Chain A
Amino acid sequence: QSVLTQPPSVSAAPGQKVTISCSGSSSNIGNNYVSWYQHLPGTAPKLLIYENNKRPSGIPDRFSGSKSGTSATLGITGLQTGDEADYYCGTWDSSLSAVVFGGGTKLTVL
């Protein structure tokens, strides 16, 4: 069981928008920054969002992040087939003194 809860899967058509939720608690999301990662099969994970809503250089603005209380959300607009991947949220957990990840969400672009 992951400390952070994500839906196992989401799907949408090309060009559409999708959101992926990440639910935690006051010991993790509630009091720490959230990051989001994209993981394509056979590759290393890639940082998409850090500090809740900031994008590293090179990440298109189709990807956005937000946080409210003990939950965070990743948004992806203008879906492309190349966006099909697993997406993970991550943050520091102050009670565990550890980085924690969500269980991952598989995005299917129909």
Chain B
Amino acid sequence: EVQLVQSGAEVKKPGESLRISCRGSGYRFTTYWISWVRQMPGKGLEWMGRIDPSDSYTDYSPSFQGHVAVSADKSISTAYLQWSSLKASDTAMYYCASGHGSSDPFDYWGQGTLVTVSS
């Protein structure tokens, strides 16, 4: 059974850095691209970017380019989403998602990681 398991909720202050994770199991990790999706409070889903775990190729939505970084460590079947300097507006639920292609449709989703940024 394919599973994506994300790291736990985080509470951070503005300006701090953060890395959240998404561990894949039940399949060969390098087979499926992993995307990250944001849901701000009371808002809809937004695709942030993706990574091909086989070679760590990444690309990003224009809305998120330069604001976050996606990476992966295939030796431990884990993808990451990272911020170097958080803002209050980064407060959101973040999901990792994957499927049989390089992007949509997303057959598999992580449980979500709630990130709260507050002074």
Instruction: Give the complex CA separation of A9 and B42 in angstroms.
Output: 14
Chain B: number of interface residues, binned into ranges: 20 to 34
Interface centre among A37, A102, A104 (most CB of B within 10 A): A37
- Encode contact with A along B84-102: 1 for CB under 8 Å, 0 otherwise: 0000000000010101000
Q: Is the CB of A47 within 8 A of B62?
A: no
Q: From residue 35 to 53 of chain B, which have CB atoms closer than 8 A to chain A? A: 35, 37, 44-47
Q: Is the CB of B45 within 8 A of A101?
A: yes
Q: Is the CB of B106 within 8 A of A102?
A: no
From known contacts A44-B109, A44-B111, infer whether A101 and B44 are also in contact, taking CB-CB under 8 Å. Answer: yes
From known contacts A97-B59, A101-B44, A103-B44, infer whether A45 and B104 are also in contact, taking CB-CB under 8 Å. Answer: no
- Encode contact with B along A16-58: 1 for CB under 8 Å, 0 otherwise: 0000000000000000010101010000111100110000100
Chain A: number of interface residues, binned into ranges: 20 to 34
Give the residues in chain B near A102, CB-CB below 8 Å.
44
Q: Is the CB of B109 within 8 A of A90?
A: no
Cβ-defined partner of B61 (8 Å) among A2, A56, A98: A98
From known contacts A44-B95, A45-B95, infer whether A100 and B105 are also in contact, taking CB-CB under 8 Å. Answer: no
Q: Is the CB of B103 within 8 A of A92?
A: yes
Instruction: Give the complex CA separation of A101 and B105 in angstroms.
Output: 11
Q: Is the CB of A47 within 8 A of B107?
A: yes
- Verify if B24 is at the interface (C-beta below 8 Å from A): no
How distant is B110 from chain A, measured CB to nearest CB, in Å?
Answer: 7
Q: Is the CB of B35 within 8 A of A99?
A: yes
Question: Assuming A44-B110, A88-B44, A96-B62, what are 6 further A-B pairs, CB within 8 angstroms?
Answer: A45-B106, A47-B99, A92-B103, A97-B59, A98-B61, A101-B46
List residues of B whose CB falls within 8 A of some A CB.
Answer: 35, 37, 44-47, 59-63, 95, 97, 99, 103-107, 109-112
Show 10 residue pairs from A and B whose CB-CB distance is below 8 angstroms, ordered by the A residue. A35-B106, A45-B97, A50-B105, A88-B44, A98-B61, A100-B47, A101-B44, A101-B45, A101-B46, A104-B45
List residues of A whose CB falls within 8 A of some B CB.
Answer: 2, 33, 35, 37, 39, 44-47, 50-51, 56, 86, 88, 90-92, 96-104
